[in-house]
Structure 1
Amino acid sequence: MSAPRPTGTHPVVAEVTARLTARSAPGRAAYLAKIREADHRGPARGRLACANLAHGFAAADEPVKAGLATSRKPNVAIVSAYNDMLSAHQPFETYPRTLKQAVVRAGGLAQFAGGVPAMCDGITQGRAGMELSLYSRDVIAMSTAIALSHDMFDAALMLGVCDKIVPGLLIGALSFGHLPTVFVPAGPMTSGLPNAEKAAVRQRYAEGRATREELLAAEAASYHGKGTCTFYGTANSNQLLMEVLGLHLPGSSFVNPGTPLREALTREAGRRVVEITRAGGEPTPIGEVVDEKAVVNACVALLATGGSTNHTVHLVAIARAAGITLTWDDLSDLSAVVPLLTRMYPNGTADVNHFHAAGGMAFLVHTLLKAGLLHDDVQTVVGRGLWRYTTEARLDGDAVVREEGPKASADTAVLRGADAPFAPDGGLRMLDGPLGRAVVKTSAVAPEHRVVSAPARVFDDQADFLAAFAAGELDGLDLVACLRYQGPAANGMPELHKLTPALGVLQDRGQRVALVTDGRMSGASGKVPAAIHLTPEAALGGPLARVRDGDLVTLDAERGELLLHVDPAELAAREPTGRAPQAEEWAGTGRELFAAFRATVGAADAGASVFPAPATAAHPVTTAPTREAAPAHA
């Protein structure tokens, strides 16, 4: 097998990579110096005092204890997001035992280092728990760091799938960037009720034309078994990005749980992580894998597939964890030249199983490499060269073998080559204007709905919008729903996917509708144009706090504009209206425990993180007012 023959790196990809590298030089140099200083030539535990080491292996079985007492074999940390409530993470129950056996057979040792929390945005949509969702990413990063903090480990295996879990695990792993690390997926559940049918029932329920029993039956038929939800939201975007970053084994992202190939790939991950330790002869620190070219590759893959809008936040935070300063301008410039190659729900009717069957990751990487849109010269956990990810995994007995991947899509309604895309540009666009900067997912929005100019209807809570919809107050009106005080500092930047059915009903009735919000709309956002992640946010004095009912707002996804047709002097003279949630409203559902996060979290375009940017790196992102300068009502 050999690399595809690209025509040369696309000039915009090359230019974005060059400026990203130059902008990041101080921060990246400081990061690499830090992780290289942490690296050393023998197993990490060899530097522990006897009492420390004895604590580290006290509970181990005798053969492992004997191995840990010496400094000859590498010891692998297993960090898992397992719980048995969430379908995506339930399969991880048996992974630690399987991985330990594989590591031992490969000549290493392994210990379960720690678990991290895993919450489901699907369960918490519209609930108070959703206001902890984004914060959970940084909690997971900190939990990962604690798991790895014992200086017992020479490599790591990360077990996670969904939304904030994988970005959190990766940010935490990058804080131990000297450790070779392999991410181990669990795979998607098998296909259930088609996504289009599920969405139709949701919309009928929003209109009062379906019962709760009918809605629950449809949802249960869609989310019906073990594995990741099958639509192309944040969870499956995570899996695609981990593979393109070179942190998964090739072809492992979308193999269903409980299959022989899934089991074999899990064993292979345990074997491979030993090989990429210093003792294994191929030292591959994760901090060296996630470099500037790898970050650009991740951006390109996200755009080419119309992936989750959440990653316009997560990728910025992940890059920062590796000392790299990614901006929304980088994403915007790439989006202008990266073609849209997939149609998966909510961008189409197919799911990730159909994508995998049509050629999946192997064909996607092949066609993007051939078009010069991905960097091939990157390090991965299976060696140098992204071309290695153009192969497909197969079983030969109990062993995984790799074959040359497809060079054409098996279903061009789901997956296409870069020479015949669904659209000439990517599925995400950045918007700019008097209201600030925002993100819009265009891949799921029909062209005729991508430009909306209509009077504002202003809401401070999604429940108020839904109440107005239920009361018929929005019937027959063109409107831009301006939902504010939903940003990171206000209430944790919750996903607002509960609004989608109601907005879809209004649009289907012929009304011109759009959404503008400093909150999120999830990886399932689509159909109705939505300017999301608006920054600066209303709670920190952003212009959205001064928008009034009736103001004319234009969301133009074609030109990348978010306009407020109000004289700038008049807007500046207005007093903010409405208010962010107050301290007393944060009681319950654990929300009161996150006051420190609300006080320190950064802006959406800086990754919405509570972690400070590297001190040596410049971050040309939107500067929101400080907490002290925010309006009193906020």
Structure 2
Amino acid sequence: MSATRTDPEIHPTVAEVTARIVARSTHSRREYLERVRSAAAEGPARAGMACSNLAHGFAACEGSDRLAIRGLRKPGVAIVSAYNDLLSAHQPLKEFPDWIKDAAREAGGVAQFAGGVPAMCDGITQGRAGMELSLFSREVIAMATGVALSHEMFDGALLLGVCDKIVPGLLIGALAFGHLPAILVPAGPMSSGLPNKEKARIRQLFAEGKATREDLLDAESASYHSAGTCTFYGTANSNQLVVEVMGLHLPGASFVHPGTPMRKALTEEAARRIVELSRGERYTPIADVIDERAVVNGLVALLATGGSTNHTLHLVAIAAAAGIQLTWDDFSDLSAVIPLLANVYPNGSADINHFHAAGGVQFLVGTLLDAGMLHPDVRTVAGTGLHHYRTEPVLDGDKLTWREVETRTLDEDVLRPVDKPFAQDGGLRVVSGNLGRAVIKISAVAPENRVVRAPARVFTTQQQFTDAFRAGELDRDVVVVIRNQGPQANGMPELHGLTPALGVLMDRGHHVALLTDGRMSGASGKVPSAIQVTPEAALGGPLARVADGDLITLDAETGLLDIAVDAAELAGRPLVDGPPDEGEWTGTGRELFGALRRAVGPADQGASVFGGMTSAHFGARADLTEVRG
């Protein structure tokens, strides 16, 4: 690693956005850090326990681990895992605890499996009732992580998880124990299967009735074909890249395949490293890793790669858990200056394995650091300074080391330097107007499709839309409005299943857009989609009063979201539909999540239940209920 490298000045917009986040967060961040510092202790937390409490904590241990915990000298490491063998991304985690326990023991610590957290797959639940629990599962994972760590037996934590809500949930939970060091341990992507463009082509043919269910299943199973994370650049892989650039992975850990010697070596090294970070001069609590600069670094990396729109929720919620107030305006202002450097599906034809082979995170960090677009002077689990993440792991026999790599792409069709981008901006925009505020990702939307002005067609369920499409009712210029899909309505499900049919309409030459208070997922593609509209329809937002035929303008270039209806007329329209009542939101476990649905906050505040809703939100919902009688 070069000791003579001089970091350039930080880009003025990156510096300005960081400074205003710091100023906005002064009070909340100070309160958070005070709470964290008060929980820290010089020695193992378990040293202050009564004998009966401590005995329960090592009753199931044997041998040297039992003696280590009883002796109160060696660091205790919590393993919190999202393992299950239903989901390909998390199935490889099965072997990790045994590797971790052995490596922690060799490093002078003792690791215990502290708890499991649920992991649900949006790919399985897409378009089904279970998807309405997906976003809320993030809060459940955070709480489960809190339960695992609440035994206070531990001096550090290893968080094993990969996909959409799992990584944000693990982080939110760990940040409640911000005095503990924590490292995220990924499992890696599956090998490349059927090219994503071919998969998308078969999906559209099926939507048109030109491919059979068997054809579609063959294509899907050729794409999702083995253990490991799905290879398109959706939320799961966005998670990995973002948290690595935030300094929460070991350098180079994100996209190493499961079942390889390198994956095992990185997992074992994470165990050794967390022991080192747990006390003494190297003590690095997660509260010190996730600060305002790290949050901005993660956001810059997301924008530079055209990552998942779900992080307009997750990063906001993660930041809030650390006392940091992040807004959609921060996303939008950074996106305007951060160039798009990756061409990975759905933004391009490559997958995450091609991205990794072209230089991956190491190249990305290097070119962004050299351009002054990342904060270099941050604390990470690898040490002080983001320069650690310019290095790649290598195995010398069975010894793991890191070496610095050139800031050079190996495939300019997939990954480019700052001075030769695919686009001059990050492709994430905030649109606003008399219908509220929404997020739109345009990195995969052709320039000629970024402005749509067309009549609305309103639906309240995905099935209603599908029926209208199959009946030929949408074969024209149209802004498809699907409302009552927000967090308070039905848990804010992803609506990615709409993409094939909307793509068909676009391919027929129509001007088409989607407008919704739901989510569209990390796989948002070529269809211009203004998503996560806030205020949502369930709280009486303007979206609740849109009618078929209203002329709507979605202009991603100027940031306009407008309905050509007089304000007084729009406000005076009756509310003709609404979200399901409490007694109707049942089945597939939904009734168990009613409390979360009532407590969840708005999309632009992370759609989180932590911190709850303001009295204004409760009042809005009460007024809406009264109007609907």
Q: TM-score, normalised by structure 1?
A: 0.97
Q: Match of 2:71?
A: 70
Maintained 8 Å contact 1:319/1:325: yes
1:174-222 CA-partner distances (Å, limit 9, x unpaired): 0000000010000000000000000100000000000000100000000
Maintained 8 Å contact 1:6/1:371: no
1:257 and 2:258 matched:
yes
Q: Which amino acid aligns with 2:544?
A: A
Counterpart CA distance in 2 for 1:587 and 1:318 is 29
1:601-631 CA-partner distances (Å, limit 9, x unpaired): 00000010111079xxxx9xx9796332334
Maintained 8 Å contact 1:45/1:53: yes
Question: 1:85-164 alignment to 2 at 5 Å?
Answer: 85-164=86-165
Query: How far 1:406 sits from its partner (Å)?
Result: 2.9
**Structural RMSD (CA):** 1.3
Q: Match of 1:39?
A: 40
Q: Match of 2:358?
A: 358
1:578-602 CA-partner distances (Å, limit 9, x unpaired): 1111223212100001111111100
Q: Match of 1:440?
A: 440
Shift in alpha-carbon separation, 1:199–1:625, aligned structure 2, 3 A: farther
Q: Match of 1:553?
A: 552
Q: Which amino acid aligns with 2:548?
A: D
Maintained 8 Å contact 1:103/1:109: yes
Counterpart CA distance in 1 for 2:201 and 2:418 is 31
Query: How far 1:5 sits from its partner (Å)?
Result: 4.0
Q: Match of 2:620?
A: 626
1:315 and 2:310 matched:
no
1:593 and 2:592 matched:
yes
Shift in alpha-carbon separation, 1:623–1:12, aligned structure 2, 3 A: farther
1:213 and 2:199 matched:
no
1:11-69 CA-partner distances (Å, limit 9, x unpaired): 01000000100000000000000000000101111011000000010001132111111
Query: How far 1:276 sits from its partner (Å)?
Result: 0.5
Counterpart CA distance in 2 for 1:368 and 1:266 is 27
1:231-289 CA-partner distances (Å, limit 9, x unpaired): 0000000000110110000001000001111111111111111111115x410000111
Shift in alpha-carbon separation, 1:328–1:624, aligned structure 2, 3 A: farther
Maintained 8 Å contact 2:68/2:74: yes
Please say which of residues 574-583 and 237-246 is displaced more in the overlay.
Answer: 574-583
Query: Partner of 2:620: helix, strand, or coil?
Result: coil
Q: Which amino acid aligns with 1:352?
A: I
Maintained 8 Å contact 1:490/1:598: yes
Maintained 8 Å contact 1:535/1:624: no
Q: Which amino acid aligns with 1:206?
A: A
1:423 and 2:423 matched:
yes
Maintained 8 Å contact 2:338/2:425: yes
Q: Which amino acid aligns with 2:275?
A: V
Counterpart CA distance in 1 for 2:2 and 2:277 is 22
1:107-149 CA-partner distances (Å, limit 9, x unpaired): 1011000000000000000000000000000000000000000
Maintained 8 Å contact 1:138/1:609: yes
Query: Partner of 1:312: helix, strand, or coil?
Result: helix
Counterpart CA distance in 1 for 2:612 and 2:593 is 20
1:490-526 CA-partner distances (Å, limit 9, x unpaired): 0000000110000000000000000000000010011
Q: Match of 1:294?
A: 294
1:374-417 CA-partner distances (Å, limit 9, x unpaired): 00010000111001100111111112111112311111111001
Question: 1:187-586 alignment to 2 at 5 Å?
Answer: 187-279=188-280, 281-475=281-475, 477-586=476-585
Q: Match of 2:604?
A: 605
Question: 1:167-206 alignment to 2 at 5 Å?
Answer: 167-206=168-207
Q: TM-score, normalised by structure 2?
A: 0.98
Query: Partner of 2:197: helix, strand, or coil?
Result: helix
Q: Which amino acid aligns with 1:56?
A: G
Counterpart CA distance in 2 for 1:505 and 1:589 is 31
Matched residue count: 626
- Residue ranges of structure 1 left out of the alignment (5+ in a row): none
Maintained 8 Å contact 2:344/2:351: yes
Maintained 8 Å contact 1:157/1:181: yes
Maintained 8 Å contact 2:262/2:395: yes
Counterpart CA distance in 2 for 1:627 and 1:57 is 49
Maintained 8 Å contact 1:541/1:625: no
Maintained 8 Å contact 1:483/1:516: yes
Please say which of residues 583-592 and 146-155 is displaced more in the overlay.
Answer: 583-592
Counterpart CA distance in 2 for 1:450 and 1:395 is 47
Maintained 8 Å contact 2:29/2:324: yes
Q: Which amino acid aligns with 1:567?
A: D
Query: Partner of 1:169: helix, strand, or coil?
Result: helix
Counterpart CA distance in 2 for 1:375 and 1:323 is 19
Counterpart CA distance in 1 for 2:558 and 2:503 is 23
Query: Partner of 1:264: helix, strand, or coil?
Result: helix
Q: Which amino acid aligns with 1:628?
A: A
Maintained 8 Å contact 2:601/2:612: no
Counterpart CA distance in 2 for 1:197 and 1:623 is 44
Maintained 8 Å contact 2:435/2:562: yes
Counterpart CA distance in 2 for 1:251 and 1:446 is 32
Counterpart CA distance in 1 for 2:536 and 2:618 is 8
Query: How far 1:93 sits from its partner (Å)?
Result: 0.3
Counterpart CA distance in 2 for 1:606 and 1:630 is 21
Please say which of residues 534-543 and 64-73 is displaced more in the overlay.
Answer: 64-73
Maintained 8 Å contact 2:338/2:426: yes
Counterpart CA distance in 1 for 2:305 and 2:78 is 32
1:52 and 2:86 matched:
no
Query: How far 1:577 sits from its partner (Å)?
Result: 2.2
Counterpart CA distance in 1 for 2:312 and 2:6 is 30
Maintained 8 Å contact 2:495/2:520: yes
Query: Partner of 2:622: helix, strand, or coil?
Result: coil
Maintained 8 Å contact 1:118/1:165: yes
Maintained 8 Å contact 2:194/2:222: yes
Counterpart CA distance in 2 for 1:215 and 1:545 is 35
Maintained 8 Å contact 2:600/2:612: no
Fraction of identical pairs, as percent? 67
Counterpart CA distance in 2 for 1:359 and 1:30 is 40
Q: Which amino acid aligns with 1:491?
A: N
Query: Partner of 1:539: helix, strand, or coil?
Result: helix
Maintained 8 Å contact 1:495/1:519: yes
Q: Which amino acid aligns with 1:350?
A: A
Query: Partner of 1:342: helix, strand, or coil?
Result: coil
Counterpart CA distance in 1 for 2:285 and 2:612 is 22
Q: Which amino acid aligns with 2:361?
A: M
Q: Which amino acid aligns with 1:480?
A: V
